[in-house]
Amino acid sequence: MRIAGGAALALLLAGCGGGETAGNDAAANASFPAEPVPAAGSPTPVTPATTLPAGEGIPGVSAPPPAPSPMAEPGATEAAQVVRDYFAAIGDKRYGDAWRLWQGVGQASGMSQAAFAQSFAKYAEYRATIGTPGRIDAGAGQRYIQIPVQVSGKLRDGTPVSMAGPVTLHRTGDIDGATAEQRAWRISDSGLKPRPRTEPTVPQ
């Protein structure tokens, strides 16, 4: 009888203890639900992409491209060099070289090469200051540009000379049939005019 009573007591205690442990495990599982396992072959979830406003985020990726820097108009530098070469030739008394820098191999000057040289023979000194080229005007395959120039010098009799005005250059655009000479900048007109001297003459 004692054995039977002990066995019954042991079963009773085991039943009480086992019930408490099972209850705790169930509560723990209820607090932390297991993550679902995706079925084989199903796509893996991804985090939705975030749209970045223009101009923000990683430079070069979400930012807009930088604005282009202003550039000098093509051809102005070459035109200014022609004007510098022209007045340098006059200053060095290389009048034939200067005459040929007029359009039409000198024809636009309105003078023959000999007459052109004679028009500068009266100068003992002839110096030019070249200004900043203007904008290139384009139309119908033609290009024009004006460059301001100031001239100072002295006649052979000692009279000082001062002139200022625009020098206009022309060239043909890069069109079919145009020759290398036609595509080169050449002087088409000169607006140099006498200007007041910077220092007044003082009677002696």
From the number of C-beta atoms within 10 Å of its C-beta (0-12, 13-18, 19+), residue 25 rates as exposed
Tens-place pLDDT, residues 158-191: 999 999 999 999 999 888 888 989 999 999 999 9
Euclidean distance between CA atoms 173 and 185, whole angstroms? 10
Residue type, 198: T
Domain extent listing, the chain: 76-194
Buried b (16+ CB within 10 A) or exposed e, 177-192: eeeeeeebbbbbbbee
Domain covering 76-194, topology = Nuclear Transport Factor 2; Chain: A, (3.10.450)
Of 120, 102, 68, nearest in space to 171 by CA: 102
Residue type, 94: R
76 half-sphere exposure, CB direction, 13 A CA radius: 15
Query: Which of 22-26, 118-122, 166-170 has the weakest average pLDDT?
Result: 22-26
Of 130, 104, 102, nearest in space to 116 by CA: 102
Q: Is the pLDDT of residue 14 over 90?
A: no
Euclidean distance between CA atoms 52 and 50, whole angstroms? 6
Which of the pair, 11 or 98, is modelled with greater confidence?
98
pLDDT of residue 200: 42
Of 177, 174, 79, nearest in space to 134 by CA: 79
Average pLDDT of the chain is 76
Query: Which of 15-19, 74-78, 124-128, 141-145 has the weakest average pLDDT?
Result: 15-19
Tens-place pLDDT, residues 48-62: 544 544 444 444 444
Tens-place pLDDT, residues 61-107: 444 554 444 444 448 999 999 999 999 999 999 999 999 999 999 99
pLDDT class of 139 with cuts at 50, 70, 90: confident
Euclidean distance between CA atoms 116 and 104, whole angstroms? 14
Give the CA radius of gyration of the chain.
Answer: 47
